Structure 1
Amino acid sequence: MVNIIWVLIFVVSILFAAINGTMDEVNKAVFTGAKEGVTICFGLISILVFWLGLMKIAEKAGLLDSLARVFRPFISKLFPEVPKDHPAMGYILSNMVANMFGLGNAATPMGIKAMEQLKKLNNNQDYASRSMITFLAINTSSITLIPTTVIAIRLNYDSVSPGEIVGTTILATLCSTVGAILIDRYFYYRRSRR
């Protein structure tokens, strides 16, 4: 369905440009946008490689395990049907820690592994379990302490102070995560009362 929407947008924009005689501007925008996209990607790659390297050092030093131990009691309450020593718990914690450091791309493989493990706990059913829904809500909203991708983009565009968004990012993502948990719990308890 999304592919059809994109094709329709593309066709309508080309027709609109042809009718209004602005096809040259569209061509210029396409090539400028493509060049800028590649430039941004290379800038993001360098920042992501740096932070992924730091995450690997933190993992080898035991910092991630320490953070996981700190969060484990709280996470166990959010996912009561997941055994504490189950691999899903480790993947959930790793995903959350990576998201905290703004490494959404690095968190994705761990999130996929967490969902696979949660599906196994759900006896490979075709519907999402309570834990899967909760994990998706938390992963989508996730608290971010260091928004590395946004800082990298701001650096690429020569921002005077690329890190000034850290405080507002922490506040905004804290609110979104608390909101996601509250909404998740509300619908869970509402559904279980029926």
Structure 2
Amino acid sequence: MVNFIWLFFIVAGVGVAAAQGNIELVTQATFDGAKSGVTVCFGLISIMVFWLGIMRIAEDAGLLKLLASLLRPIVRFLFPSVPKDHPALGYIMSNMGANILGLGNAATPMGIKAMQELQLLNSNKETASPAMCTLLALNTASITLIPTTLIAIRMNFNSLNPAEIVGTTLMATFVSTLAAIFVDRWYRARNSIQH
């Protein structure tokens, strides 16, 4: 669906530019967008390499195990249907840990692996299980302590204080995570009453 929306925007933009006789603006915007995209990517690569290095140091120092042990009771509460020693829980904790540290790109592979493991537990392969829905909600709304990607983008565009968004981001992601958990629990309760 999203592909069709983007295709519509592109075709509509080119059509309007052609109708107004400004097709050269489309070409200019294409090159400007490509240049801007490359610039942003290089900035993101540097900040991602830095934070992934910090993550590796934290892993070697045992901080990730500590974070996982702190998350374990929360994960057990949020995913009661997943067996205690199932591999999905490890991937879920890694995903949550990476999201908390603001490493969304590093969290994605863990989230995909967690979904694959949860799908193995799913009795109805055509419908997402409650645990899969919970993971999706948490992954989307995750609490973020350090929004590394946003800080990197702000640095690329010469922000005077790229890290000033840390407090507001923490508050916003805290509220969104609580809302995601509340809505998830509400739907679970509603569905259990209906069945």
Alignment of 1:64-79 (within 5 A): 64-79=64-79
Number of residue pairs aligned between Structure 1 and Structure 2: 194
1:1-194 paired onto structure 2 within 5 Å:
1-123=1-123, 125-194=125-194
Look up the SS of the partner of 1:193 in the other structure: helix
- 1:26: Cα distance to partner? 2.1
Compare 142-151 and 119-128 and name the one that shifted more: 119-128
What is the one-letter code of the residue matched to 1:76? Answer: R
Name the CA distance, whole Å, in 2 between partners of 1:2 and 1:95: 25
Query: Is 7-16 or 149-158 further displaced after alignment?
Result: 7-16
For residue 143 of structure 1, give the secondary structure of its aligned residue in structure 2: coil
Unmatched tracts of structure 2, length 5 or more: none
One-letter code of the match for 1:128?
A
Tell me the CA shift for residue 144 of structure 1: 0.4
Q: What amino acid is the match of 1:111? A: G
Deviation at 1:84, TM superposition (A): 2.4
**TM-score normalised over the length of structure 2:** 0.95
Distance across 2 between alignment mates of 1:125 and 1:8: 32
Moved more, 67-76 or 117-126: 117-126
How many angstroms does 1:6 deviate by? 2.5
Which structure 1 residue ranges, 5 or more long, are not aligned? none
Q: Could you tell me how far apart the structure 2 residues matched to 1:5 and 1:159 are?
A: 31
Cα shift readout 1:79-125 (whole Å, capped 9, x = no counterpart): 11112221111110000010011111100000001111111122472
User: In the TM superposition, what whole-angstrom CA distance separates every residue of 1:146-181 from its partner, at most 9, and x where no partner exists?
Assistant: 000000011111111100000000000000000000
CA RMSD of aligned residues (A): 1.2
